[in-house]
Amino acid sequence: MTHRDFSISSSERSSKAGSAATYVAFMVGGTIALLVAVAIFSHIALRHDLIDIRNTKILNHQIRKLDTAAPVRTLFVGDSSLGAMFDQGVWSAVAGEPAMQLALTGTYGYAGSYSMIVRALERFRPDTIVLVHALDMMTRDLSTIGYVLARPLEPLPALIPAMNRLTTRLSFYLDSQIVGGAMGGVMRAAIGRESNPIENGFLRQPDVAGAVSHIATGDYLRLRPERINPQKTLFLKQIAKLCARKGINCIYAHGPVFAGACEAGAAYLQAINEDITDAGLIVAAESPSCVPQPELSNTINHVRKDLKPAYTRRYHGLLAPYLN
Amino acid sequence: MLFNSISFLFVFLPVAWLLFHVAERAGLPKLAIGVLIAGSFVFYAYWNLAYVFILGGSIFANYLIAAHLDALAGLRTLSRRLVLSVGIAANLGLLGWFKYSNFLVDEFNRTTGTGFELAHIALPIGISFFTFQQIAYLVDVYRRAGFDSSLLRYCLFVSFFPQLIAGPIVHHREMMPQFGRGRSGRIIRDLAIGGTIFVIGLAKKVIIADSMAVPADLVFDGAAAGLAPTLIDAWSGALCFAFQIYFDFSGYCDMAVGLARLFGIRLPMNFASPYKATSIIDFWRRWHITLSRFLRDYLYVPLGGNRSGPARRYVNVFITMVLGGIWHGAGWPFAIWGVLHGILIVINQGWRHWQASRATDPQTGRTQISAMRMPVGIQRAAIFVLIVLTWVPFRAADAGAMTLVYAGMAGLNGISLPAAFAPVAGLLPGIVDPPGVVFDGLAVDPAQILLWIPALLCLVWLCPNSMEIMRGVRPIIATKGYPATHLSRSSPARPARFRPVWLLRPRFALATGLVLAVCLIQFNDPSRFLYFQF
């Protein structure tokens, strides 16, 4: 085998080496320049509350709600499975006393719930805190981005494993969700179009009924014990510790989910209930409420918005034995 | 360690690259080879420390067998053949034990009703690749086609990390002369070329293949769980998988070529725009070229090749394809995939034979004007559809899932359209709501069907591949008998419509840098390459 391009003259070689060095410098420089530009863009978008991931809007809404709300005895935190299902007014009417819902979204995960509990406890002390999360939450990644977004809390190193700590700090502003959210948010702001308006205490759910196809099963096929992320209990343990320290009754309930997922995920449900109990929380054993397909909205964890009152009542019945 | 992970890109690779070039510049080629071997074993140990002993043991044992074969070079064929047979049997035994024993025991239990139990045997990653490479080496030493007494070079030939896990299945004649030859004057140039090719591969994997994996998994995992995909979902899933595996493997091959080039080494071309193939034979000269070459040289030819008439040739090619299918994994779907390709290649060869006989005038022996040929675009499209159909058993978890997806593609599971189409159907009764159509929505995001699939079809059919773009710097080693791997460095006499050439210019560097930045932003959760499972 011959290699013709070895036989170049020394002057040609140094010229090629020079252009290669310039090339490498431009390649590395271009990469760094773009990453820095994107990070600065994300940072500015975050500072101006323009990042529109699912969803900073709801975080700000809930923080504002908390700042002006009167103390309540029962506080609900969780993700969109709670937000799409829970009607604060209906609950208060059924329970005979006011309750507050501070649902965020799946992006924030358990970290977001922890953040909202800490924020709420700065204002008042409820008797009961109910966490409601989507059934598949334990299969998702550790919500470090949710943690950073829902800041400020105690320092990151105390809670998160070393590798995540490093990458979270380094990559937060370069995360594709954050960057995409920043771009979307800035574009919407530029054209003056509001995204994801708040309706009945949560992000407006789309006007689609039964939009989840009977085979849109990707979300629940992962409901298998081997898919549980062992890191997910990190924030649950923090919540349990906080509840124990403050003497608050903290309950964990799974949000409503497509009936097919209830069937497919029975072994998974048992396994995560054990994990959640081990983390120090009480699991509402009657949850989740299994939803027939026609009652679903746009995901297998969201009920149709016209059914909010019905599901709020259903969860009241389901949680009544656990409430103080 | 995945090529598309932070730990590989920012820790392992820079350290290995730096140490290698320091050793080379110091004029210590053996140390440089040692650094690459050590790096390759660290890379391999990252998957599972125990695997290192399997890899190391396999390398050492094969080196001893090859040395013994070489020592017997002057003796009678019989004793040499015996040594070779032992060597091949040991390699196949190792591969068979790790790859097929669980499957065979399960099948035996299923058919006989017995209950033999075998502990689950984890497949050492890359074993299929390094085993084949070493079998080829033993056969060549037996044929007196080259024995290199350097254990160091042999060790690197087998374990070189850019191609250790998923190929290309390299040949000792194209690799071992490249080791330790010293290229210290070209470090930066190799960095520029290798880095660029690596970034192209990374983009294929991170931006395209991983995006296609989502809808493909949705449909095929659903089928594995017993859920029947409707017409559009089934076709979308099959098409998305066809693009997923294309860009996953193509991306991996580019990354391997780029990584090797960072160390001054060229690899053979393994992937040459296979969806541009105009026949199944052409497809196999473009897809996984080094496997195809191995099967041709070390299976098809020893079986008799085309030396014993057409009928025997068809049998040989069929056996070769079935074994090639089984090589990919233990399970009936892979065997079915091999059988399908075997049948298609036999049909293709028969068709060619028939066409050739028609094209020759039996009276004069002269070649007649060729019969009507389909336009290239239609040939490509037809072969593409056939290939998509054959990917179904390759991806399906089992025969049941395969049947469900095929049934869906045939429309037997009904047709579901997005719910938003329902009002339109109401306006046009009998036209868009024929019997069997429901408005249950689609599992696959319609945007993926409408945007990604046409765009990717244009990319794979109309655009030059990465090696063609890089042809000015001779990025790969061409393979004899595989025309698509022979890249001309000069511009063609009659330029095609779109033939960009990469140059060492700042604007190309900036473009590469921007693509790399986009890939890094997409780096949330690195996923494995599909070919790592083989």
Dump pLDDT digits (tens) for A204-219: 776 655 445 544 555 6
A23, A36, A175, A221, best to mutate vs chain B, most B CBs in 10 Å = A23
CB of B441 closer than 8 Å to CB of B231:
no
For A215, the closest of B173, B222, B520 (CB atoms) is: B222
Interface contact flag, A215 B525, Cβ < 8 Å: no
At A194, is the pLDDT very low, low, confident or very high (cuts 50, 70, 90)?
A: low
Closest to A255 in 3D by CA, of A154, A133, A142, A110? A133
* Residues A30, B509: C-beta atoms closer than 8 Å: yes
CB contact under 8 A, B214 and A217: no
Give me the residue from A30, A175, A217 closest to B510, CB to CB: A30
Say what the pLDDT of residue B493 is: 47
Interface size, chain A vs chain B, as Cβ–Cβ contacts under 8 Å? 133
Q: Which of A182, A150, A184 is nearest to A46 (CA)?
A: A182
Q: How far is A176 from chain B (nearest CA, A)?
A: 5
pLDDT tops 70 at residue A148: no
Q: Label residue A237 exposed, middle or buried (CB < 10 Å: 0-12, 13-18, 19+).
A: middle
Instruction: Choose the mutation target among B17, B171, B174, B189 for the interface with A, i.e. most A CBs under 10 Å.
Output: B189
What pLDDT is attached to residue A240? 94
CB of B288 closer than 8 Å to CB of B167? yes
Question: Interhelix angle for B29-45 vs B151-159, to 10°?
Answer: 40
Q: What percent of chain A has pLDDT over 70?
A: 75
Please state whether the peptide bond connecting residue A152 to the residue before it is cis, i.e. omega within 30 degrees of 0.
Answer: yes
Task: Check if the beta carbon of residue A33 is closer than 8 Å to that of residue B512.
Answer: no
Partner-chain residue, chosen from B195, B214, B441, that has the shortest CB–CB distance to A27: B195
Judge contact between B256 and B13, C-beta under 8 A: no
Burial of A70 (0-12, 13-18, 19+ CB in 10 A): exposed
Whether A230 contacts chain B with CB within 8 A: no
Determine contact, residues A104/A58, Cβ cutoff 8 Å: yes
Beta carbons within 8 Å of B102's beta carbon, 6+ residues apart: B118, B120, B121, B330
Q: Specify the range with the lowest mean pLDDT, choosing from A38-42, A84-88, B49-53.
A: A38-42
Query: What is the least distance, in Å, from the CA of B484 to any CA of chain A?
Result: 19
Q: Which residues of chain B have pLDDT under 70?
A: 119, 182-185, 359-373, 419-420, 422, 424-436, 440-441, 489-498, 524-534
Say which residue the tokens 């983390």 belong to. A279
Range A181-198 average pLDDT: 74
Distance from CA of A78 to the nearest CA of B (A): 24
Closest CA to A33 of A44, A41, A43, A45: A41
Q: Do A29 and B513 touch (CB under 8 A)?
A: yes
Contact B443/A19, CB-based, under 8 Å?
A: no
Contact by Cβ (8 Å): B415, B407:
no
Say which residues have a Cβ less than 8 Å from residue B446's Cβ, sequence separation at least 6: B418
DSSP, res A97: S
More confident residue, A184 or B467: B467
Look at residue A246 in the predicted model and tell me its pLDDT.
Answer: 92
Question: Quick check: A24 and B188 CB within 8 A?
Answer: yes
> What residues of B are annotated to the active site?
328
Distance from CA of B518 to the nearest CA of A (A): 8
Among the partner-chain residues B227, B443, B521, the one whose CB lies closest to the CB of A176 is B521
pLDDT given at position B362: 63
Q: Is A261 near chain B, with CB under 8 Å?
A: no
Q: What is the pLDDT of residue A3?
A: 39
Cis peptide before B168 (omega within 30 of 0): yes
| Banded model confidence at residue A5, pLDDT cuts 50, 70, 90 | very low
> Which residue in A275, A86, A215 sits closest to B222, CA to CA?
A215
For the ranges A20-34, A257-271, B268-282, which has the lowest average pLDDT? A257-271
First vs last C-alpha separation in chain A: 82
Query: What is the distance in angstroms between the Cα of B316 and the nearest Cα belonging to chain A?
Result: 31
Taking the CA atoms of B239, B240, B243 and B245 in sequence, report the sign of the dihedral they define: negative
Q: Which residues contact residue B315 at a Cβ distance below 8 angstroms, ignoring those fewer than 6 apart?
A: none
Question: Quick one: tokens of A61?
Answer: 């809404």
Query: CB A213 to CB B228 under 8 A?
Result: no
Q: Quick one: which H or E segment has residue A249?
A: strand A249-254
CA nearest to A209 within chain B? B419
Percent helix, percent strand, percent coil in chain B, to nearest 5: 70, 0, 30
Residues in chain B closer than 8 A to A217 (CB atoms): 218, 221-222, 225, 227, 443
Q: Residue B524: which of A13, A175, A264 has the nearest Cβ?
A: A175
Sign (positive or negative) of CA dihedral B322, B328, B329, B332: negative
Mean pLDDT of A257-271: 88
Nearest CA in chain B to A293: B440
Average pLDDT of span A154-158: 49
**Residue B533 per-residue DSSP state:** G
| Non-local CB neighbours of B279 within 8 Å, separated by 6+ positions | B348, B352, B379, B383
Check A213 against B442: CB less than 8 A apart: yes
- A217:B474 CB<8 A: no
Chain A, 60-99: which have a CB under 8 Å from a chain B CB? none
Per the CB < 8 Å rule, is B513 touching A20?
Answer: no
From B188, B225, B518, residue closest to A20, measured CB to CB: B188
In sign, the C-alpha dihedral spanning A48, A54, A59, A61 is: positive
Q: Kindly tell me if the per-residue pLDDT of A6 is higher than 50.
A: no
Could B191 and A174 be called an inter-chain contact, meaning their C-beta atoms sit closer than 8 Å?
A: no
